[in-house]
Structure 1
Amino acid sequence: MSSIMIRPPAVAGTFYPANPLELQTMVRAFLQATTIPTPVVPKALIVPHAGYIYSGAIAASAYAYWQTLTQGINRIILLGPSHRYPLRGIALTNAQAYATPLGNVPLTQSMHDSLLRLPYVSVLEQAHIAEHSLEVHLPFLQTLFHDFCLIPLVVGEASPQQVGHVLNLLWGDEKTLIVISSDLSHYHPYAIAQAMDTKTSQAIEQLKFDALHYEDACGRNPITGLLYVAKQRGLNVKMVDLRNSGDTAGTKERVVGYGAYIVH
């Protein structure tokens, strides 16, 4: 099977700056503008994946909780939905690194054999090559952590139990962190989006993985998998930011919703 050794950036210069200095300055500004009310260290985050001018500040409101974890984190599990390639199950990549303007993020295949024993997990490069839902988080992770390996997973049609089983396999110890990538409602008028996203946010905080629908969140499948595991493990989910593109850099006629959550 053919494979890419280094997966190049697909959305640098569109979703986020292609210039390394500009990108680093923007990410740091987002993080520094965030106030953390309680010093909780989350195991996992749910964060949005739109262009940085739209959702970067919302994502940073969750990532800021990891600013004290500069040492000791050696593995990040990153799950996002497939926007461009129809997919059943969950896709791995054989790439050795994901590239961003800030450098290469090394990938680890140490768990591939265990994951590929699951009938709904496969290696599928086409699912990774143009997918933005994973890529946009890497500059945040590169800014926070200097020495970590990544396991990127593109999630297509998969049940909460299937995604949850993968998460349990990869859960690890306190040196492993999890990021779930998802936006919320898409292209509704501002007030309707606010009502929809508030309802979705309540379901997420209450771990109601069976209450989420595709119109509620494009990353519904990775989110529901995490909620399934959080319920199993007795964890809490807390919303730390809830806005939409009409609050940040867009009009209010047709907005996209963004929520940021910590799981601890």
Structure 2
Amino acid sequence: MEKKKMAFAGSWYPATDVECEAAIQGFLKEKQGPCNGRFVGGIVPHAGWYFSGSIACRVIASLQSDEKVDTVFLFGAHMHKQSEPFILTHGAIETPFGQIEVDKELVDKICADIGISKRSAHKFPDDNTFELQYPFIKYFFPHAKIVVCGVAPSAFAPVIGSMAVEEAKDLSRTVRFIGSTDMTHYGPDFGFTSAGTGEKAVEWVKNQNDRHAIKAMIEMDASDIIAQGLENKNMCCSGAAAATAAACKKYGAVKAVELDYATSFDKSASKSFVGYSGILYALS
């Protein structure tokens, strides 16, 4: 079976199952821990685990329930508005906890109905928006398969999310949806310094710029999610977030919960920093 190899293990996250599990158990004890509820999807950050692993871990852990989850959808990728969406077609993804099999039957059905670029495991990009989530998905959903899709910040993003639900239901799949995006990338390293520097800039990012994006995600407003990312630079993967919000809404989600928010400045004070948000979508 063709496999997507790990590219960031040992640098962005631990290289071994023992180290990953120790980190995960530590994350689960932080702050409020995972949420209890009927959650069908969520938004996670994708920086190195040191910076944002705790939020991503607790969001994905919150998606567990008593029902057997067949497939996890993961939307991500750094893409331009004009970029062509792409999907991993077959094979498996390696993680420190073992491999995750691609849900080929579901992918084939999606590709038959949606114009989307097909990528094999050997041609699939090494992308932190995806790989940083793989160990969490394997750990919390050890028997689930996966569908991995790169989604551009365009009007096609919510279409992809909605169609994913329809195809999953046609195959009687019980699924979960994860969208991978960081928030505002602020500072001279990112060419974005409209609010100055120092604590004043951090407060502006936390309380204004990222708040607009979080509001759009909580309201499950796919159009506004995309607009926020493009116009306010407060999401690096707004297409992934929009696809996830649209999918969860189509699947029956009626409300959202903000699990946590943080910035890299909290861990390492710098003129350049990034925001991280964790959002959960619930059926009731």
- TM-score, structure 2 as length reference: 0.81
Aligned residue number for residue 243 of structure 1: 262
- Asked if 1:208 is matched to 2:203, the reply is no
Query: 1:120/1:143 Cα in 2 relative to 1: closer, same or farther (>3 Å)?
Result: same
Pick aligned residue for 2:127 from 126, 131, 151: 131
1:20-99 equivalence runs, <5 A: 20-35=17-32, 39-69=36-66, 72-82=68-78, 88-99=83-94
Q: Do the aligned partners of residues 72 and 245 (structure 1) sit closer, same or farther apart at CA in structure 2, a change above 3 Å counting?
A: same
Match runs of 1:87-166 below 5 Å: 88-125=83-120, 128-156=124-152, 158-159=154-155, 160-166=157-163
Tell me, what secondary structure is at the counterpart of 2:94? strand
CA distance in 1, matches of 2:72, 2:235: 22
Please say if 1:9 is aligned against 2:6.
Answer: yes
Q: Relative to structure 1, is the Cα distance of residues 184 and 157 closer, same or farther in structure 2, using a 3 angstrom cutoff?
A: closer
With over 3 angstroms needed to count, the CA separation of the structure-2 counterparts of 1:88 and 1:57, relative to structure 1, is same
How big is the alpha-carbon RMSD for the aligned residues of Structure 1 and Structure 2? 2.6
Give the letter for the 2:100 counterpart: V
Number of aligned residue pairs: give it: 258
Match of 1:179 in 2: 178
What residue number does 2:198 align with?
none
* SS in structure 1 of the partner of residue 150 of structure 2: strand
Matched, 1:255 2:273: yes
Relative to structure 1, the CA distance from residue 33 to residue 119 in structure 2 (aligned partners, 3 Å threshold; closer, same or farther) is: closer
**Structure 2 counterpart of 1:218:** 236
CA deviation after TM superposition for structure 1 residue 252, in Å: 4.0
Residue identity opposite 2:240 in structure 1: P
Provide runs of 4+ in structure 1 moved above 3 Å: 66-69, 170-174, 228-234
- Amino acid of the residue matched to residue 177 of structure 1? R
Confirm or deny: 8 A CA contact 1:15 1:52 kept in the other structure: yes
After superposition, the Cα gap between the structure-2 partners of 1:109 and 1:87, relative to the gap in structure 1 and judged at 3 Å, is farther
Cα distance in 2 for residues equivalent to 1:130 and 1:38: 30
Structure 2 counterpart SS, 1:200: helix
Equivalent position amino acid for 1:227 in 2: A
Q: Which runs of 5+ in 2 are unaligned?
A: 188-200
Alpha-carbon offset, residue 119 of structure 1: 5.0
Distance 2:218 2:141 in 1: 27
Per the TM alignment, residue 98 of structure 1 is displaced from its structure 2 partner at its CA by 0.5
Worse overlay, 43-52 or 71-80? 71-80
1:34·1:60 contact (CA, 8 Å) conserved in 2? Answer: no
1-structure distance, mates of 2:174, 2:165: 15
Distance 1:72 1:251, change over 3 A: same
Q: Check 1:113–1:146 CA distance in 2 against 1; reply closer, same or farther (3 A cut).
A: closer
Unaligned runs of 5+ in 1: none
